[in-house]
């Protein structure tokens, strides 16, 4: 939180400048990796609300979308991402929403993973990285859906409240495409996903399972799935 002083009629008045950042780490290993975007969903709607696509730093580069393979094997370092919500013009109440969409290739090598998520609003930090398998801070789309364009096929599904969500946990395949994991992804990390969580400390990451499973429904091309914070934040 930044504080500045302003002199009025010989008196000093302290003004508080709003501060809101979201930080995370990501892993994009696999030939069928697609792209991800972070959004702010305004209001208190559970799985609906107007989406604002957010621009931030991804591996030190300004980006509003991260696409393609970023790690060439499962044993490389996780990459850093950060978003300044104030710089994006965000204010009011809402929640963080992640959209992950597969590339135009069919295949299982698309297990994008995310870890070390934190939201800091002024001096209050909320740790959104799952500390255990029972963490209820995230809800994931209950099944992957088909859509070619974010603006016409994906974003409207969220904004119109057409999607259903489950609380993310470690039960692979029976809870939709999103799951918590520590160590390697279920299909093995030689061709997709990370071999271990960031820091190799037993903590959990959240990932999108893209194997050929009817419940996950993310194997085919142009499949997408949203992930959202359970709670809202006020900026």
Q: Token pair 């094997």 is at which residue?
A: 73
Q: Which of 142, 109, 141, 103 is nearest to 211 (CA)?
A: 109
pLDDT of 4 above 60: no
The C-alpha angle 131, 136, 140, rounded to 5 degrees, equals 110
Which of 7-21, 38-52, 125-139, 180-194 is predicted least confidently? Answer: 7-21
First to last CA, the chain: 12
Closest to 21 measured CA to CA, from 50, 36, 1: 1
Overall pTM > 0.85: yes
Given a cut of 60, whether residue 63 has pLDDT beyond it is yes
- For residue 195, the model assigns a pLDDT of 98
Residue 13 scores a pLDDT above 80: no
Do 14 and 4 contact (CB within 8 A), yes or no? yes
3-state secondary structure of 150: helix
């Amino acid at each position: 939180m930044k504080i500045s002083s302003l002199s009025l009629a010989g008196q000093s008045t302290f003004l508080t400048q709003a501060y809101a950042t979201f930080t995370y780490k990501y892993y994009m290993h696999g030939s069928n990796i697609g792209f991800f975007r972070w959004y702010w969903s305004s209001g208190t709607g559970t799985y609906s609300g107007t989406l604002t696509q957010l621009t931030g730093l991804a591996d030190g580069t300004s980006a509003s979308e991260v696409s393609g393979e970023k790690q060439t094997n499962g044993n490389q370092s996780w990459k850093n991402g950060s978003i300044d919500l104030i710089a994006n013009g965000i204010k009011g109440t809402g929640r963080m929403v992640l959209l992950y969409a597969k590339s135009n290739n069919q295949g299982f090598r698309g297990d994008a993973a995310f870890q070390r998520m934190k939201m800091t609003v002024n001096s209050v930090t909320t740790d959104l990285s799952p500390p255990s398998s029972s963490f209820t801070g995230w809800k994931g789309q209950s099944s992957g859906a088909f859509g070619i364009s974010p603006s016409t096929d994906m974003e409207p599904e969220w904004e119109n409240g057409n999607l259903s969500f489950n609380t993310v946990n470690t039960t692979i395949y029976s809870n939709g495409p999103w799951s918590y994991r520590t160590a390697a992804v279920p299909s093995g990390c030689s061709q997709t996903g990370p071999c271990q969580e960031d820091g190799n400390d037993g903590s959990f990451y959240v990932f999108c399972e893209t194997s050929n499973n009817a419940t996950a429904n993310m194997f085919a091309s142009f499949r997408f799935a949203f992930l959202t914070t359970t709670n809202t934040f006020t900026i």
